[in-house]
Amino acid sequence: MGAPMTSSQNVNGPRASGLSGSLGEFALRVEHLGKRFGDRVAFDDVSFEVGYGEVFGFLGPNGAGKTTTVRTLGTLIAPNSGSATVAGIALSAGNGPAIRARISIMPESPGLYLRLTVMENLECFAGLYELDDVHGRIERALRAVNVLDRAGDPCGSLSKGLRQRVALARALLNDPAVLFLDEPTSGLDPVATREVHELIASLRERGVTIFITTHRLEEAERLCDRVAILNTTLRLIGRPDELRAKLFTRSLDVRTRTPLDDPTAVFGAVPDVEGWEQARSGYTLTVSDPDVAAPAVARALVGAGSDILSIAESRHSLEDVYLELIDEDVEAKTR
Partner 1 sequence: MSLSWIRVRAIAVKELRDYRHNRFVILTMALLPLLFIVAPMLQLFTAPAVAASSKLDARVGISLLYLLLIPAIVPSTLSAYSVVGEREQGTLEPVLITPIRREEFLVGKAFAVAAPTLTIAYAIFGIFLAATKLFANPVIASAVFAGSHVLVQLLFTPLLAGWSIWVGIAISARSSDVRVAQQLSVFASLPPLGIVALMQFNVITSSTGLALALAAALLIVDGLGWRAVAAIFDRERLITGART
Q: Which residues bind partner 1 (CB under 8 A)?
A: 37-38, 68, 71, 74, 76-78, 97-98, 100-101, 103-105, 107, 109-116, 120, 123-130, 154, 167, 170
Q: How far is the CB of 80 from partner 1 (least distance, A)?
A: 11
Q: How far is the CB of 200 from partner 1 (least distance, A)?
A: 18
C-beta of 18 vs 38, nearer to partner 1: 38
C-beta of 21 vs 127, nearer to partner 1: 127
**CA dist., res. 281 & res. 295, Å (int):** 20
Q: How far is the CB of 97 from partner 1 (least distance, A)?
A: 4
Q: Let me know if 320 is exposed, middle or buried by CB neighbors in 10 A (0-12, 13-18, 19+).
A: middle
C-beta of 108 vs 225, nearer to partner 1: 108
**CA dist., res. 36 & res. 45, Å (int):** 11
Q: How far is the CB of 285 from partner 1 (least distance, A)?
A: 50
C-beta of 71 vs 206, nearer to partner 1: 71
- Are 297 and 265 a contacting pair, CB within 8 Å? no
Phi, psi of 306 (to 5 degrees): -95, 145
C-beta of 30 vs 254, nearer to partner 1: 30
Angle between helices 134-144 and 118-128 (to 10 degrees): 120
Bridge partners, residue 117, by sequence: 154
Q: How far is the CB of 96 from partner 1 (least distance, A)?
A: 8
* Three-class SS state of 322: helix
C-beta of 124 vs 330, nearer to partner 1: 124
C-beta of 19 vs 311, nearer to partner 1: 19
What are the DSSP E strand ranges found in 9-71?
Answer: 9-10, 13-14, 26-37, 40-51, 55-59
* Three-class SS state of 278: strand
Closest among 46, 35, 109 to 71, alpha carbons compared: 35
Residues contacting residue 256 through CB under 8 Å, at least 6 positions apart: 282, 283, 301, 306, 307, 308, 309
Q: How far is the CB of 275 from partner 1 (least distance, A)?
A: 50
* Cβ neighbour number for residue 51 with a 10 Å cutoff: 22
Q: How far is the CB of 104 from partner 1 (least distance, A)?
A: 8
